[in-house]
A = this chain, B = another copy of it.
Amino acid sequence: MSMGPKQAILAGFAGVARALGHAHRLELLEHLGQGERGVDALAVRVGLSLANASQHLQQLRRAGLVANRRDGKFIYYRLADDGVTDLLTALRRQSERNLAEVDRIRRGYFADRDSFEPVSREDLLERVASGLVTVLDVRPQDEFGQGHLPGAVNIPLGELQDRLAELDPDREVIAYCRGAYCVFAFEAVAALRAQGRPARRLVDGFPEWKAAGLPVATSF
């Protein structure tokens, strides 16, 4: 079946879109947005069998969305570049705007937990500069270590109740985690407000911050 150059190019684009066309692969990409990971770690986090995760990752690789490297007997996958996060953001925006189903879930589940306007990246930068807020990273420690917002405090969601003392009760907390639909940040904000503390959520998560070209700190 021969086709013109335009059809061939469109088929290429379609292949990339199809690679994004499965919830498991989108979730793999969300985790890869936090930093490089081995296949087994990804499989466990997303709840897939090892073989299944491996095959999904290979589809993403064929589509040019992720890259990998071998180190000893481990193979580490990572996003091909920051542009992947931009594409995911565009997909999310479009879906939020015009897909009734997504909007319904968002209203039903997420709106309850956080009726306050999320903070934009620009706002956060301003507030940090004027020393008014604490930036709180509620992801697991290893993800924090691979990269986080400069000056952020890391308290994984599960430890938040026990470590409240580490947060100055008079400063507003701005919490973030993996991305716009990462549940951790919603839960953290709800928990803090339940204690009467001022808290809001960053509009999206770490990968979007990084893709926007803003500074990133690491712990290793």
Contacts and interface: CB of A to CB of B under 8 A. Distances in A.
Contact of A9 (B9, B20, B105): B105
A165 interface: no
A106 interface: yes
Contact of A99 (B12, B86, B106): B12
A5 B105 CA distance: 7
**Copies of chain A in the complex:** 2
B97 A83 contact: yes
Nearest to A20: B17
Given A17-B91, A87-B90, A92-B13, A63 B97 contact: no
Interface in A97-112: 97-102, 105-106, 108-110
B181 A106 contact: no
A90 B83 CA distance: 9
Contacts of A45: none
Contacts of A108: 5
A102 B9 contact: yes
A171 interface: no
